[in-house]
Structure 1
Amino acid sequence: MANKGNKKRRQFSLEEKMKVVEAVDSGTEKMRPLIVGRSANPQCLKNVHSLPCDYRANQWAWMTQDLFNEWLMQMDARMKQAERRILLLIDNCSAHNMLPRLERIQVGYLPSNCTAVLQPLNLGIIHTMKRLYRSRLLKQILLKLSSSEDQRKVNIKQAIDMIAAAWWSVKQSTVVRCWQKAGIVPMELTDSDKETAASEPDTAIEKLWHSVAIASCVPNEVNFQDFVTADDDLTISQELIDTEVIQNTVAGENTDEAGSEDEGEVSLPQQPKITITEAISSVQKLRWFLSTCVDVPDAIFGQLNGIDEYLMRRVTQTLVDSKITDFLQTK
């Protein structure tokens, strides 16, 4: 994880190179996350054409004005296609100062220095997502420890997958509760919401942390609270502080910083290309494994069926297209 003190600087290093942009409505819809990294073309994303989020890069891994406006225009286009109009509440920071012309989005600024009490994302949504991400990260580390792998070798692709999974795992009841705490929109929680809206205790993740700390010899001065709050004070957006820094950021906005990124990015073996037949076979193996387990929720089998159906559609369409091509070539 990213960290604030030099003494702890290299304990967890990947997250200081990535920032996450999130947007959520009053309880029914979460927007696709935008992740900002330092490398435009990291090696681990070679031959990767689909991600569970949007990925952009600049040399500081900051949310800049250009990146925010690009994201805003894309959202405006989606709203236009869906014939919707929305009010978007945002923080008053330098990256949000010069907005493009929008057709379907009205932007409202939250009062300065009040985001801690008015911004629903800051009232528990971001904390919940970070906790879910860190839980996945610790489980990944424990899994690697059990197989004698270097537990700190988590590349950008793996981090992106875990971040996206954590974001989509944030419950609707959590979102509703945070909007209610902000008091911006009058809302009532149902009884079922009240039962699930309470934030889950950090006990489980703390147990994971202690297991990892003992197994990987984390220094005694690095405690669980350091792990939880490691990135609270990181700069996440372009600030109007130093003209030269801003100019360098803008100049490097669309450049490939893979060279400098590789200095800190872990080097993992390149994954071989998987054929669709191999992917289908893997799903069948996973289905068989789950059938040997006890009390597997029906939802898990449903998700597996969705993956299987998608792969079968892909392979069927490929076969149909090839047959048509062969037929036309014989004419």
Structure 2
Amino acid sequence: MVAGEASGDLLAGLLLQGMRKRWPGLQAQGIGGPQMARRGFEAWWPHEKLAVSGYAEVLRHYREIVGIRNQLRERLLADPPQAFIGVDAPDFNLDLAAALKARGMKTVQFVCPSVWAWRMKRVEKLQRSCDHVLCLFPFEPELLAKHGVAATYVGHPLASVIPADPDRQGARASLGLPLQGEVIAVMPGSRASEVAAMAPRFLHAAALLQRQRPRAWFVVPAVPQRRAAIAAAVRASGLKQVVVVEGQSHAALAACDVALVTSGTATLEAALFQRPMVISYHVNWLSYLLMKPRHLQPRVGLPNILLGDFVVPELLQGNAKPRKLALALSDWLDAPDRMRAVQEKFRGLHAQLQRDTATLAADAIEKVLQS
């Protein structure tokens, strides 16, 4: 198995939990993180090695990443497993899976690449690389079937982990936040490049918002490797009444009234917690120039894509300015009726995505192994 960042590690950990129920003697090895390790996974490389975003950032780490992939490929070809499962990280996993499949190995991709958002040419790579794709979203299998790719909708495992009625008061108490008053979650991402780009912007926006709303509190979840960088950005912003927590992103989302979130899986997590949000990102200018022409969707945030509308604001690239971010957060807090309306939409999305993912995924993987 290969998972390439914190969100993939979380998904892979949930998948492993279901697979171990089906196959108690399962051996799982490759590239992964702490959630996978908790389920007995043996990591030959840490998932942090692949947690790089943006074209320019990937180019800087290209030699190391390709070296890891080559070493992993040779290791798997020398001692073939019964199956290779790539978890997200399509740029890394699909080329590796293609080489393994060409040598007769069974290959599964867990998380369909966003072919519906980016150029459909990636479907051709899926055909070459994967015996089966496990899809998180209900519309994906039909889309892939049109292109000859076998796929199964397994639901999104986070919808089974995240409660339908989050305990706001309990989460606030556990994080040392006031039980009453406004709390804003600030989520600049887990990758080093994301934190470098987004944390100063987000925390500057938080400081501006705090001037308008002096009683507001802020909570900033940080993966362990980024805590020092985020703490430094907090100090530079002058933000007060702020709690920086290690991990605990779900507790932060449960505790907050509204969230400021870097585009990615965290936006879906915020939606499943039924929290209004402002979605943002800013990448290296070269990465942006390369990415922009390839994007087919008018929306980039997963909640907006899945609901087919701009239900939450997206402030991207040139619009990812602290004052605009602070204003968008304030607009939510000043409109309780609007907040309740979007929360109802997110409740419906939660119900749609909630399936017995572990069992459905294990069923699909078993069929691949028997084919």
TM value normalised by structure 1: 0.28
TM value normalised by structure 2: 0.25
If asked which structure has higher relative contact order (CA below 8 Å, sep 6+), I would say: 1
